[in-house]
């Protein structure tokens, strides 16, 4: 079958299947209540019927038939889109006793799952479990109040608008082998660009009723085979339909909003969030007593009344320094905490090789993989980060326009190239040709650009379809 034709939902739903099994799955299929402003509805549902306990083929759990349940049906519910990323697979489990009565219901919730009963009773309509789907994200709850009890108000407010598309090309372990090659910076930007157009504000009124009908049901193996083909089709479609100048790039506040607040301070990070930045770039070094601190210069000489190198000063001594307007030099931990509070991503530049271990440890302890990347002008440091933890996204920075960006990035296994040409020529964007960008894209690399504060240069860079632009004044990037 032609791959384009096989990617259609219609081709999937025509999958041959056992009519009695399908009818059984339809008998107990859930009813989903969506927010009235929800932009995405399910397209297909893969089912698995359990007549004995066993591992789920599509979710990291064991499905256990504990009495009085004698049968369970797993519904793997497919959407092309989550408001944060490309493709969505949520799950519902319905447990039935020997009399055909539903005795237990469970559903997925942000990587886990939970019981769907309310005060000991299941929300049912005849033989159908009734679920509330989180706006945009589709995690399931038994009632509306659940969302406000288990999600912070700040996250609820940001999820469907500010964070639209920010997770890009999402790949779960279930599809890592088939789709790992799909995860590229260009794919992430295509997804971001598409979903930013669909950002919305939920009404928090769940009056959009969606029963899962027999027509949507297919055996799980058929859905599993179809999904990678569907994702490849979507990426091709987005690449054809979104021109470079319409690509939404990361707005990166250089050393925070350093045009408005002291650079590399918590105040600069908070101001960056207020001005609409997606990420903050900041520099990390090590103190004499082994603490990772956020500061650019190797020495503290430019601060009045202070002198000497950062690496020779303890954290206590560094904290005595007024970094400007009463701000203090932050630790890496303090920077991460503020970025999390302000829902900011992080672009961490290594200013010393001694900070590599601390930065990698921070990624692992705080699970920063979806929220941060590490960059440096030192190729050996970039290579060391990737060797210590291949999950960390990295960028290689360089000054010379004569450097081969692809060869440099491939030598250190970097994910992004970051030319720093802002001081090279009066109009540095002229060095960034379409051929240069295309060669980087063909190598499946992303492009992050120098800090820029001139509107005409920013517009010229935007037309190239890059992944990120740094600026001391992040409001100019909007």
Q: Is 306 a catalytic residue?
A: no
Write down the catalytic residue from 114, 260, 296, 399.
296
Q: Is 254 a catalytic residue?
A: yes
Write down the catalytic residue from 254, 418, 429, 451.
254
Phi and psi at 218, nearest 5°, equal -140, 155
Torsion of CA 225, 199, 268, 339, to 10 degrees: -40
Distance of CA 452 to the CA centre of its chain: 25
Picking from 191, 309, 199, the residue whose alpha carbon sits closest to that of residue 241 is 191
Phi and psi at 110, nearest 5°, equal 50, 55
Please state, in angstroms and rounded to a whole number, the distance separating the CA atoms of residues 180 and 158. 28
Q: Is the dihedral of CA 440, 444, 450, 452 positive or negative?
A: positive
Work out the angle at residue 129's Cα, subtended by the Cα atoms of residues 131 and 27, and round it to the nearest 5 degrees: 135
Please state, in angstroms and rounded to a whole number, the distance separating the CA atoms of residues 467 and 73. 43
The residues that are catalytic are: 254, 296
């Amino acid at each position: 079958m032609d791959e384009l034709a096989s990617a259609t939902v219609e081709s999937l739903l025509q999958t041959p299947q056992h009519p009695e099994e399908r009818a059984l799955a339809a008998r107990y299929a859930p009813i989903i209540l969506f927010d009235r402003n929800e932009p995405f509805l399910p397209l297909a549902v893969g089912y698995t019927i359990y007549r004995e306990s066993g591992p789920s083929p599509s979710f990291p759990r064991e499905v256990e038939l504990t009495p009085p349940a004698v049968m369970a049906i797993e519904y793997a519910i497919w959407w092309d889109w989550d408001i944060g990323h490309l493709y969505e697979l949520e799950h519902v489990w319905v447990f039935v006793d020997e009399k055909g009565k539903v005795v237990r219901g469970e559903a997925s919730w942000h990587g886990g799952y939970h019981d769907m009963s309310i005060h000991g009773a299941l929300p049912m309509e005849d033989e159908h479990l009734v679920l509330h789907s989180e706006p945009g994200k589709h995690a399931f709850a038994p009632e509306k109040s659940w969302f406000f009890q288990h999600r912070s108000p700040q996250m609820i407010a940001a999820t469907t608008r500010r964070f639209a598309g920010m997770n890009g090309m999402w790949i779960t372990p279930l599809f890592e082998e088939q789709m790992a090659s799909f995860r590229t910076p260009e794919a992430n930007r295509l997804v971001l660009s598409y979903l930013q157009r669909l950002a919305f504000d939920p009404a928090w009124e769940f009056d959009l009723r969606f029963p899962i009908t027999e027509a949507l049901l297919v055996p799980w193996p058929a859905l599993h085979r179809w999904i990678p083909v569907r994702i490849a089709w979507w990426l091709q479609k987005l690449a054809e339909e979104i021109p470079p100048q319409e690509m939404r790039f990361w707005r990166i506040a250089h050393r925070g909003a350093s045009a408005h607040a002291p650079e590399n301070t918590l105040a600069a990070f908070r101001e960056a969030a207020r001005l609409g930045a997606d990420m903050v770039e900041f520099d990390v070094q090590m103190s004499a007593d082994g603490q990772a601190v956020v500061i650019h210069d190797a020495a503290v000489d430019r601060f009045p009344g202070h002198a000497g190198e950062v690496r020779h000063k303890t954290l206590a001594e560094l904290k005595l320094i007024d970094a400007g307007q009463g701000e203090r030099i932050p630790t890496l931990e303090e920077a991460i905490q503020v970025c999390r509070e302000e829902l900011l991503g992080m672009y961490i530049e290594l200013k010393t090789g001694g900070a590599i271990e601390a930065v990698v440890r921070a990624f692992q302890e705080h699970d920063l993989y979806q929220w941060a990347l590490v960059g440096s002008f030192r190729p050996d440091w970039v290579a060391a980060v990737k060797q210590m933890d291949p999950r960390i996204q990295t960028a290689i920075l360089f000054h010379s326009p004569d450097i081969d960006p692809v060869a440099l990035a491939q030598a250190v296994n970097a994910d992004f190239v970051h030319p720093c040409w802002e001081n090279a020529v009066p109009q540095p964007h002229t060095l960034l040709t379409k051929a240069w960008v295309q060669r980087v894209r063909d190598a499946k690399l992303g492009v992050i650009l120098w800090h820029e504060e001139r509107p005409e240069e920013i517009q010229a860079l935007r037309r190239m379809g890059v992944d990120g632009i740094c600026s001391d004044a992040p409001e100019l990037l909007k």
